[in-house]
Amino acid sequence: MPRPRSTVRPPRVRIHPLGDTAVLAELGSRLDTALNTRAIALAAALKKRRDVRQAVAGHASVTVQFDPDQITHEALAAAIRRLATKRPPMEEPGRLHRIPVVYDGPDLDEVAQRLGLTRQRVVDLHGRPIYRAFLVGFVPGWAYLGPLPDELVLPRRPTPRTRVPAGSVAIAGQQTGIYPLDSPGGWNVIGRTTVKLFLPDSDPPSLFRAGDRVKFFAVDA
């Protein structure tokens, strides 16, 4: 059966060297589910090549490590452009995770005030969408989730905290996330969850994978 024609034009790919054995292929610069879907599909297609050692999708990009003994930068760039023009296969819906959150984060009041909302309104808005895990990375188990409702968009804290406890649920820009480990961090912490994001004794060791879907719901402390 012929597939319906996509109305989305294939993105123009910008390919930059990332040293002598890697490239960064940028499909766009917006937080966009369609771009991320394309990036994940492109990474999957590139990983099948023997001259590619590693291909990992970013939000709207793919970082490709390759074997320069098997392919040149130019030939790899041409191959990436060719693969990027292909319509990505219909994406299976990602696994859905429902995450219980106690909304009592140290920044909740300040967030509500800065956004001109009530605390309850912030909680309701945060729990409304089904977010997409755009990228798993930065630290073990961290996933960039989004996009946030427009009403919740605000910058990071001007001064990062030196320690944010594991399980902290936070927002910044158009995104939300859960700190998997105690770590420094500059996002606005609005709640906490007991769900473990980093699973060192599982393989893969992350609860979330790129393309998964995440829904938060409020629970009492």
Least Cβ distance, residue 108 to another protein (angstroms): 23
Residue for token pair 């996509």 = 6
200 binds another protein (CB under 8 A): yes
Concatenating the DSSP letter of every residue in 76-127 gives HHHHHHHHHHSPPPPPPPPPEEEEEEB---TTHHHHHHHHT--HHHHHHHHH
Total residues binding another protein (CB under 8 A): 45
Could you tell me if 80 and 65 are in contact, meaning their C-beta atoms sit under 8 angstroms apart? no
- Of 59, 97, 126, 132, the one binding another protein (CB under 8 A) is 59
Residue environment code for 87-118, b if the CB has 16+ CB neighbours within 10 A, otherwise e: ebeeeeebeebebebebebebbeebbeebebe
46 forms part of the interface with another protein (CB under 8 A): no
Q: Does 210 bind another protein (CB under 8 A)?
A: yes
> Is 70 an interacting residue with respect to another protein (CB under 8 A)?
no
Q: Site mask, another protein, residues 135-174, x = CB under 8 A?
A: xxxxxxxx-x----------------------------x-
Per CB under 8 A, the segment of 23-31, 78-86, 90-98, 117-125 that binds another protein is: 23-31
Q: 47 exposed, middle or buried (CB, 10 Å; 0-12, 13-18, 19+)?
A: middle
Residue 117 in tokens: 């909302």
The verdict on 34 binding another protein (CB under 8 A) reads: no
Q: Which residues bind another protein (CB under 8 A)?
A: 16-22, 24, 26, 29-31, 53-54, 56-63, 65, 68, 73, 135-142, 144, 173, 180-181, 198, 200, 203-206, 209-210
